[in-house]
């Protein structure tokens, strides 16, 4: 591969300009709108970026000013973000699911002066907290449906007006934009990326141009991409996982980014594109696996028999392939046959036919799920990192995929394990620190070494094994250590379990609150004539408890040590939810919050005399109405018969 280190000397706008000179007419972006795909070349990409940047400057946006992006994944989010960076400003992503109060807090904290929203839903959230964010001078929007009444208020501006102002500014000062781009430095802060916020309001990690470009270069040093390759952008842009691909990988390689029509159509649009590589949080792959299981469950009996047989063959073949070993001739032949008649059509149906590599990160993925995807021919690999190191520091290599590890460091990444067992990393992708939080920054970075906050070790193959968050690693009453995250992933491999929260710190045994998967368990219940009306009703069915008990028994049988076994559990009456504060925006469990919110259930899990408890379930609907429903939660101990 050619040496691309010279690209580290560029800022993101400078690299975009370089792409224009080398790939001008090639497709850079593609967006589905009203059922048809619209393409933007690298030339057009740069032109819209110039108009957005100069338009921002025209409305008073200065160097070091911040523009907040509260958007669905659309090309305009890149035009505005890189346009702001080109004129010396800083972009910042805010999750579309954020509520008005949270948006106000983040805008205040980041000193945002301009907000860019994709549609009326997001604009209305900003409008609701207008009095709390006096520093915001303009709210720019892309989709003008429902916005007619806002046009008389000059606080709001359609993006076409911004482009028009930018064109006018370019005519007045034709050389200014290029001059401003030239002034950019790779070590300037270009974007504020919010951390996951497992313990409270997220922090703003100050990311530099070099952070993103280095990430794109080192990732594709391990797994090269061609300019003709396709990527589908469906992860929230506020998450580092999407930024590292849009800002880093795409700029470093020249691949095309495809934007689905909406969040709801993302998976269908993915099938149309057939991407060559994909990045997703574990929840994405867990959902797809559940859909596959549903398809098989609904199929003919003969198909189920074939699937189960070839799945066992595929798993055997995958273990050889993942470790780079040569398969025995008979296994290779039978697995090839199963791939042709069973797995290729299946993989094609979910849009993965052209997929050479799929990555997962943001949270741990159970080893069983890795083997499942590898068995059906999807080259799924684990990456490990965090926002503060631009998403990735370690990853699996082809032919060296070990499901219980997160792989080896990326090129030019130094690593070591501290005396306390914490994972430390150093590279050009490490953040400049947290915005306005020097004390937290000093705790995070010491002599260039990033403190991950995760406990881990290096195994005999040189792979990193992540145990859990240092703060989350638990010890039972006997002092034996265990990882709740590891046990939760084991539980979630069951198709019937969507989420699990494991407890047991300083306790005599491990207990869990279980969320059933409403789709898979709902189908299971329907097939057996078990009637139910709501998720709460389904969760309370004794037949469902029997089902989950059987799953936990199987999981306990695989436990390496006695204290890894689930001794007592209850099935929660509602799905854990981001809006209720139980999960972070990236789907991580806020375990302490869950424990405090359901303290009465937690206490009952550790009182074996309690077999059931009446609780009040509080619901708040999207229209603001609330309701309280009483229900019975039952607690089950593994030794007893249900």
d(CA 379, CA 399): 10
- Give me 127's structure tokens: 């409008």
Mean pLDDT of 297-322: 90
Contacts 24+ apart (CB under 8 A), 19-27: 19/45, 19/46, 19/251, 19/254, 20/45, 20/46, 22/254, 23/227, 23/254, 26/227, 26/254, 26/256, 27/256
Question: Are 457 and 489 members of one domain?
Answer: no
Residue 198 above 70 pLDDT?
no
Q: 250 and 155, same structural domain?
A: yes
- Whether 642 is in a domain gets the answer no
Residue 461 falls inside a structural domain: yes
- Compute CA distances 224 → 15, 261, 530, whole Å: 18, 28, 51
Distances (CA, A) of 371 to 135, 402, 584: 51, 9, 27
Q: Are residues 150 and 263 in the same domain?
A: yes
Q: How many domains does the chain have?
A: 4
Model pLDDT, residue 575: 92
In a domain, 200, yes or no: yes
Residues 172 and 222 in one domain: yes
491: closest CA among 503, 483, 504, 502? Answer: 502
Same domain, 81 and 170: yes
User: 246, 270, 294: which is the final residue of a domain?
Assistant: 270
Residues 568, 638: contact at Cβ < 8 Å?
Answer: yes
> Would you put residue 316 in left (φ > 0), alpha (ψ -120 to 50) or beta?
alpha
Instruction: Tell me 177's DSSP state.
Output: H
pLDDT over 60 at 640, yes or no? no
CATH number, position 139: 3.40.50.12780
C-beta separation of 413 from 462 below 8 A? no
**Same-domain status, 352 and 411:** no
506 in any annotated domain: yes
Closest of 577, 561, 574, 582 to residue 629, by C-alpha: 574
Pair (374, 420) in one structural domain: no
Buried b (16+ CB within 10 A) or exposed e, 442-478: eebbeeebbbbbbbbebeeeebbbbbbbbebbbebee
In a domain, 94, yes or no: yes
Instruction: Write the pLDDT tens digit of every residue in 370-410.
Output: 889 999 999 999 999 999 999 999 999 999 998 888 999 99
On whether both 448 and 490 belong to a single domain, the answer is no
Q: What is the mean pLDDT of residues 215-222?
A: 95
CB 448 within 8 A of CB 426: yes
For the chain, give the mean pLDDT: 91
**Distance between CA 305 and CA 112 in Å, rounded?**
58
| Whole-number Å distance between alpha carbons of 513 and 635 | 10
Q: How many CB atoms lie within 10 A of CB 340?
A: 10
According to the model, what pLDDT value does residue 641 have? Answer: 41
Does 167 map to a domain? yes
Region 198-216 average pLDDT: 88
Residues 150 and 215 in one domain: yes
CATH of the domain at 568: 3.30.300.30
Residues 152 and 209 in one domain: yes
Going through 181-322 in order, the beta strands assigned E by DSSP cover 189-194, 204-208, 230-232, 256-259, 277-280
Last residue within a domain, chosen from 355, 384, 413: 384
Which region among 220-229, 314-323, 344-353, 611-620 has the lowest average model confidence (pLDDT)?
A: 611-620
Q: Does 540 fall in a domain?
A: yes
For the chain, what percent of residues have pLDDT higher than 70? 97
Q: pLDDT: is 545 or 579 the higher one?
A: 545
pTM of this prediction exceeds 0.85 = no
Token readout for 142 is 């892309």
Highest mean pLDDT among 74-83, 268-277, 339-348: 74-83
Q: Cα angle vertex 238, ends 233, 242, to 5°? A: 35
Q: Out of 384, 411, 429, pick the residue that ends a domain.
A: 384
**Phi, psi dihedrals of residue 260, rounded to the nearest 5°:** -65, 165
Classified as helix, coil or strand, 151 is coil
| pLDDT greater than 70 at residue 157 | yes
Read off the CATH number of the domain in which 451 is found: 2.30.38.10
Residue 261 in any domain: the answer is yes
Separation CA 190–CA 296 (nearest Å): 47
Q: For residue 185, give its domain range.
A: 5-270
pLDDT single digits (tens) 568-600: 999 999 999 887 888 887 778 888 899 999 999
Residues 166 and 67 in one domain: yes
Residue 506 φ/ψ region, left for φ over 0, alpha for ψ in the -120 to 50 degree band, beta for the rest: left
- Looking at per-residue pLDDT, the higher value among 477 and 55 belongs to 55
- Could you tell me if 489 and 616 lie in one domain? yes
CA distance readout (Å), 436 to 127, 134, 136, 178, 509: 26, 19, 19, 31, 42
Of 252, 240, 255, 158, the C-alpha closest to 205 is 240
């Amino acid at each position: 591969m050619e040496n691309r280190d010279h690209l580290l000397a560029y800022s993101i706008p400078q690299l975009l300009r370089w792409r224009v000179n080398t790939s001008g007419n090639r497709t850079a972006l593609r967006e589905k709108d009203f059922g048809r795909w619209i393409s933007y070349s690298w030339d057009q990409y740069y032109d819209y970026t110039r108009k957005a940047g100069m338009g921002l400057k025209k409305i008073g946006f200065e160097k070091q000013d911040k523009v907040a992006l509260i958007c669905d994944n659309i090309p305009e989010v890149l035009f505005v973000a890189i346009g702001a960076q080109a004129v010396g400003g800083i972009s910042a992503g805010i999750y579309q699911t954020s509520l008005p109060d949270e948006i106000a807090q983040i805008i205040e904290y980041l000193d945002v002066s301009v907000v860019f929203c994709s549609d009326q839903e997001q604009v209305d959230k900003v409008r609701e907290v207008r009095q709390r964010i006096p520093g915001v001078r303009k709210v720019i929007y892309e989709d003008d449906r429902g916005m007619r009444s806002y046009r008389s208020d000059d606080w709001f501006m359609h993006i076409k007006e911004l482009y028009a102002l930018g064109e006018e500014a370019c005519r007045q000062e034709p050389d200014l934009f290029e001059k401003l781009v030239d002034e950019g430095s790779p070590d300037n802060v270009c974007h504020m990326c919010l951390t996951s916020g497992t313990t409270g309001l997220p922090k703003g990690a100050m990311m530099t141009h070099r952070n993103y470009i280095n990430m794109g270069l080192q990732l594709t040093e391990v797994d090269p991409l061609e300019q003709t390759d396709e990527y589908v952008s469906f992860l929230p842009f506020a998450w580092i996982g999407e930024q590292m691909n849009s800002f880093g990988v795409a700029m470093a390689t020249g691949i095309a980014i495809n934007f689905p029509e909406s969040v709801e159509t993302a998976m269908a649009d993915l099938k149309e594109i057939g991407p060559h590589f994909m990045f997703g949080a574990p929840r994405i792959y867990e959902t797809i696996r559940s859909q596959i299981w549903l398809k098989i469950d609904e199929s003919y009996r003969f198909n189920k028999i074939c699937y189960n047989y070839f799945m066992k063959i595929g798993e055997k073949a995958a273990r050889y392939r993942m470790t780079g070993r040569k398969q025995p001739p008979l296994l290779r032949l039978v697995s090839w046959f199963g791939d042709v008649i069973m797995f290729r059509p299946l993989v094609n149906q979910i849009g993965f036919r052209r997929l050479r590599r799929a990555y997962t990160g943001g949270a741990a993925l159970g080893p069983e799920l890795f083997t499942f995807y590898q068995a059906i021919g999807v080259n799924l690999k684990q990456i490990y990192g965090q926002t503060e190191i631009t998403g990735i520091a370690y990853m699996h290599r082809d032919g060296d995929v070990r499901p219980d590890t997160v792989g080896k460091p990326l090129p030019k990444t130094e690593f070591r394990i501290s005396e306390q067992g914490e994972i430390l990393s150093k590279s050009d992708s490490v953040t400049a620190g947290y915005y306005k939080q020097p004390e937290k920054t000093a705790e995070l970075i010491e002599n260039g070494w990033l403190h991950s906050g995760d406990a881990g070790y290096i195994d005999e193959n040189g792979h990193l094994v992540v145990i859990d968050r240092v703060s989350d690693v638990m010890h039972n009453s006997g002092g034996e250590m265990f990882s709740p995250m590891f046990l939760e992933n084991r539980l979630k491999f069951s198709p019937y379990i969507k989420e699990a929260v494991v407890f047991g710190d300083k306790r005599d045994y491990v207990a869990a609150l279980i969320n059933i998967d409403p789709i898979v368990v709902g189908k299971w219940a329907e097939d057996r004539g078990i009637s139910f009306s709501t998720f709460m009703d389904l969760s309370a069915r004794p037949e469902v408890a029997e089902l989950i008990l059987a799953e936990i028994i199987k999981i306990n049988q695989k436990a390496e040590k006695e204290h890894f076994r689930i001794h007592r559990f209850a099935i929660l009456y509602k799905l854990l939810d981001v809006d209720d504060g139980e999960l972070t925006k990236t789907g991580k469990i806020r375990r302490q919050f869950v424990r405090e919110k359901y303290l009465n259930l937690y206490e009952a899990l550790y009182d074996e005399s309690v077999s059931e408890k009446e609780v009040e379930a509080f619901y708040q609907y999207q229209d603001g109405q609330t309701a309280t429903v009483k229900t019975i939660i039952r607690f089950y101990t593994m030794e007893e018969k249900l």
